[in-house]
Amino acid sequence: MMEYFGVTIKELREKRGFQIKEVYSGVVGRSTAFRFERGTTSISTKKLLEVLYNIGIYSMDEFLFFHQKRINEPSKDLDKYLAQLMHKEGLNIKSKKHDQVLGFYEEFKNSKKKEEKFLAYAAHFDYLTNQEENMGKNIPIAQILNEFQFEWGYIENYLLEIESWSFRELDWFPFLSSCFHKENRPLLLARFKKNFKELRDYYENWERHYINNLINYLMNSVYMGYYDELEKDISEIDKHFEMYSELQWGLSQRCRILYIKIIIAGKERRMDMIRKNYEQLSKISNVLPKNNELMDFYLEDSLRKVKEIFPDLDVAKILK
């Protein structure tokens, strides 16, 4: 069966934009690589793991998922689920202390492996946007990031070059979306949706994961001032909430959706919808403990954004 793995690896390699020499150099010879990808020979398990690493797959479980999907056979290894998947490592980078994040960046920022460099730059983005000293001084993120435009361009191009995304790219996409040029955002968002939906069977509570990522993307759109992106995707989110009642339980998601809807209503000069969504957000705020900084932010910033869109709008009068 090992030889048939090569056919799957070829498909994944080509979809992710890797050349033969990038994947097999130092692992097996060129002729062996060609024969392996044609399905006429096999390689050792150790070498297979090296090849998988070189195309950005760090787990046999994840590879077997793609392989079984390609040959349309039910996988027998999915019971281990997300615990051993490579994207868990990608997520852990974000949760480490800042000095560890910076250490990860320094170690891999000059790597010759595309996926390692991508993760290094992603970790650096996280480090820069979450430094307490910058947050305390309220320095605009754009100003903080300006010095490293090459890295953010690399992240964007990396995602543009590969059609088939792994869990790593899917997990990082919403968080990194403020790096993207406006003209590339629709293509990247469509690619995110396509790949996330293709992996539907691999997620428990898929709808919750999908909606949460989509909301994170829209929150970044708000931050960047790309208000024209909001309406279409908020409609898709509403449809999911109607179809899956369990999503209504996500209070934090609901607050962010109302925050976005207030801004959409401001863009459309819909005074009635500004009032309706703001009242719903206020009701949620009233049942939560007082001095909730996040809720205060949603309430205050939504109106601030509306005022920025239309300076002549009397927001206070609308809310009476």
Q: Which pLDDT score is estimated for 64?
A: 79
51 — alpha (psi -120 to 50), left (phi > 0) or beta?
A: alpha
* Inside any domain, residue 143: no
Measured CA angle at 61 (ends 247, 216), to 5 deg: 30
Domain ends where: 30, 50, 80?
80
Please check whether residue 142 lies inside any domain of the structure: no
- Structural domain contains residue 120: no
CA–CA dist 256, 234 (Å, integer): 11
What angle, rounded to 10 degrees, do the helices at 206-224 and 167-176 form?
Answer: 30
In a domain, residue 296? The reply is yes
pLDDT digit string, tens, across residues 40-84 = 888 888 888 888 888 888 777 778 777 777 665 433 332 332 233
Residue 210 lies in a domain: no
| Residues of the chain predicted below pLDDT 50 | 73-97, 132-137
- Residue pair 207/247 in contact (Cβ under 8 Å)? The answer is yes
In angstroms, the CA 237 to CA 226 distance is 18
Residues 6+ apart with CB under 8 A from 258: 277, 278, 280, 281, 284, 298, 302
290: left (phi over 0), alpha (psi -120 to 50) or beta: beta
Read off the CATH number of the domain in which 11 is found. 1.10.260.40
- Structurally, the chain folds into a number of domains equal to 2
pTM: 0.70
Which among 13, 48, 80 is the end of a domain? 80
- Flag whether 259 is in a domain: yes
Closest to 170 in 3D by CA, of 222, 141, 206:
206
Its domain, for residue 42, covers 2-80
Residue at a domain's end among 58, 80, 102: 80
Q: What is the pLDDT of residue 131?
A: 61
What per-residue confidence (pLDDT) applies to 136? 45
Q: pLDDT value at position 95?
A: 43
